[in-house]
Amino acid sequence: MAGRGLVKAKKYDWKDSNLALFGSDLEKNVKKASAATEVAWKGAGTQPGVQVWRIVQFKVTPWPKEDYGKFFSGDSYIVLNTYKEEGNDQLLYDVHFWIGKESTQDEYGTAAYKTVELDTFLNDVPVQHREVQDHESDLFKSYFKTITIMKGGAQTGFRHVEEEKYKPRLFHFSGQRKNVVVSEVPLCKDRIKSDDVFILDLGKKIYQWNGRGSNKDERFKAGQFCQQLESERSGRAKADVLEEDTTDRSHLFYQSLTEDDSDDDSEFDAKDLQKELFRLSDSSGNMTFKVEKKGTVSKSDFDTKDVFILDAKKSLFVWIGQGTTAGEKKLALQYAHEYLQKTDHPLIPVTCLKEGQESRDFAAAIAA
């Protein structure tokens, strides 16, 4: 609205809300949108590879393959990785729902609900994961050559360029080798650091700014990014490379950085790294959630009759025993989400796995 200036979206809205999916109005809306059968799952998990969907008004919509690895902070997504282990023809799966910083409760709640639905569709074989923007697991990152996070929602678009309407974007490239992460950051001079590479996308003009201390991997990824933008815009965009030491402060690159900075999320790291194990059980007739153990945890601490939540502080695991009741199984992820809300590390990756399909990461978390 004219005269109001830039209005920042509230960060991590979703972490302050409960994830009460089942039996809620959200579940009813999702079921209604599904019309009994989810057409998006047709062909899901039939062969090895990665598939991505975005949540749009309670519906699961395919994400274009050419945009795999690109995510908008205002959206939620489902990512399915189908694979086979060496010497075994059985198809195995990891299914992740990814939550953007400004994703709405309806979007991330639908993504969580649909992840459970996809798990059921694939005969309960998948391992389920929750991923949060800027706190993604190494497994999730491994699916994409580069992860690019952009502000807004997918309706913002990034191919169709009308110069007078195009919203400038500043991208930050940081990391080494396969772990270069690309994030859209505020158009703020204070964000420019000599150790990294930045790309200013003005629509038809693109600048790659190489900090004097940036590494070859960051520069290479940024160069690829520029080429991709030029290709997507059918030659209507032109990229130039700027070196920090030879670029005058009066250059358009610097003059375009006019926004205020925003907070980062370092405050969401756990201060106490002691592991904690919780038991979710309805054996008493009421659902109870209580601390089972702190410190050292072993496989013998898990009981097949219940759900256990292991907070390893860098990641959290929801372990579902084979003898778990339907109620415990249905509420496991919700309890994990609500527990994390009350901690100083609410954004860590969550993995929901079943007894007998424990992952290497789970085993490593116990052994650590």
Whether the model clears a pTM of 0.75, i.e. scores above it, the answer is yes
- Of the CATH numbers 3.40.50.11900, 3.40.20.10, 1.10.730.10, 1.20.1290.10, which one belongs to the domain with range 276-366? 3.40.20.10
* Lowest-pLDDT choice from 9-18, 209-218, 235-244: 9-18
Chain mean position to CA 216:
26
Task: Domain 19-150: give its CATH architecture.
Answer: 3-Layer(aba) Sandwich (3.40)
**97 and 78 in contact (C-beta within 8 Å)?**
yes
Q: Annotate 110-125 with b (16+ C-beta within 10 A) or e (fewer).
A: bbbbbbbbbbebbeeb
CATH code linked to domain 169-256: 3.40.20.10
Percent of the chain past pLDDT 90, that is, above it, reads 54
Q: Which residue has the tokens 């153990």?
A: 293
Whether 337 contacts 352, CB under 8 Å: no
* Domain boundaries for CATH 3.40.20.10 within the chain: 19-150, 169-256, 276-366
Rounded CA separation 148/322 (Å): 38
The edge-to-edge listing of strands for the beta sheet with 316-320 is 59-62, 49-56, 76-83, 92-99, 127-132, 350-354, 316-320, 307-311, 276-281, 288-294
| Phi, psi for residue 345 in degrees, rounded to 5 | -135, 60
Cβ contact 88:97 at 8 Å: no
CA angle 254, 222, 72 (to 5 degrees): 85
Whether the pLDDT of residue 159 is over 60: the answer is: no
How many C-beta atoms surround the C-beta of residue 72 within 10 A? 26
pLDDT at 15 over 80: no
Reported as a single tens digit per residue, the pLDDT across 246-271 is 999 999 999 999 988 776 555 677 88
